[in-house]
Structure 1
Amino acid sequence: MQTNEMNVLLAVFCVVSIFQLCHGVSSSGECYFNAKASCEHNGRVFDIGEAWIDDECFQCVCFEPFGVGCCEHGKQPVDYPPWCEAIRKPDSCTVAVVMKANHKLPCLFGGKSRLWKSENDPLF
């Protein structure tokens, strides 16, 4: 095999690997691969195979020199009533399902849900 063919096969292998890795991290999230991205985040340079979580809650893996593959970090709730909504807690990657009318109240529906301890212990 020629060098170009080997590089293409290696790149395809890397892309397939990132999507397999991301599937294990989050079965309901989206993934992308950026062939032009560098393996630098917040001033730190990552080596091939190292991972980090970016500001938009994507877990990224360095595949230098081929680029960076990223998948959503964590699971997104999908089955909740229309009077509730899923929102990301400020400055974290944690998603909570809360009442649309009052984001300090958790959405309680069907089954057993954890209640907050007191009025002084809101979600946000």
Structure 2
Amino acid sequence: TLHFFLLDMQTNEMKVLQAVFCVVSILQLCHGVFSSGECNFNAKASCEHNGRVFDIGEAWINDECFQCVCFEPFGVGCCEQGKQPVDFPPWCKAIRKPDSCTVAVVMKANHKLPCLFGGKTRLWKSENDRTTEFTHTKHKFI
């Protein structure tokens, strides 16, 4: 009986290790494909957002613009969405528009004005001068 107990314990440990490996692998995939920012994993989180329950492998965008993936029963992994502009003049600021995941570069003195440089009529443009908007849609990764 001791042999079967040890064998059963090893089987359970293998299942846990396989699950952890899968979670880490999927988080790395999500981070590499969907994100340029930070990722986190919450082992105590539930797969629910705004009253909706998600199945394992399904994803959603939370209120902080993180894309989260359900790893039930192990928790939820979330990665920051989109690229944040970094190359803009010091008199400008990157802000997230209220109730959306859209990032805009605006004048610090007046957030209603787009970022200007070198003159009042030239808009600042660069590689990262794009707004990125994400919708609250369901994705299936598994």
- Alignment TM-score, normalising by the size of structure 1: 0.79
Deviation at 1:27, TM superposition (A): 4.1
Distance 1:66 1:101, change over 3 A: same
- Identity level (%): 90
CA contact (8 A) 1:50 1:62 kept: yes
CA contact (8 A) 1:85 1:100 kept: yes
Deviation at 1:11, TM superposition (A): 3.2
**Considering only CA atoms, is the larger Rg found in Structure 1 or Structure 2?**
2
- Alignment TM-score, normalising by the size of structure 2: 0.70
In the alignment, the residues of structure 2 paired with residue 32 and residue 119 of structure 1 have an alpha-carbon distance, to the nearest angstrom, of 28
Question: How do 1:31-70 residues align onto structure 2 when only pairs under 5 Å count?
Answer: 31-70=39-78
Deviation at 1:3, TM superposition (A): 2.7
In the alignment, the residues of structure 2 paired with residue 96 and residue 108 of structure 1 have an alpha-carbon distance, to the nearest angstrom, of 13
CA contact (8 A) 2:68 2:76 kept: yes
User: What number of residue pairs does the alignment pair up?
Assistant: 123
Q: Which has the higher contact order (CA 8 A, sep 6+)?
A: 2
Unaligned runs of 5+ in 2: 1-8, 130-140
| Alignment correspondent of 2:108 | 100
In the alignment, the residues of structure 1 paired with residue 86 and residue 55 of structure 2 have an alpha-carbon distance, to the nearest angstrom, of 35
Question: Partner of 1:8: helix, strand, or coil?
Answer: helix
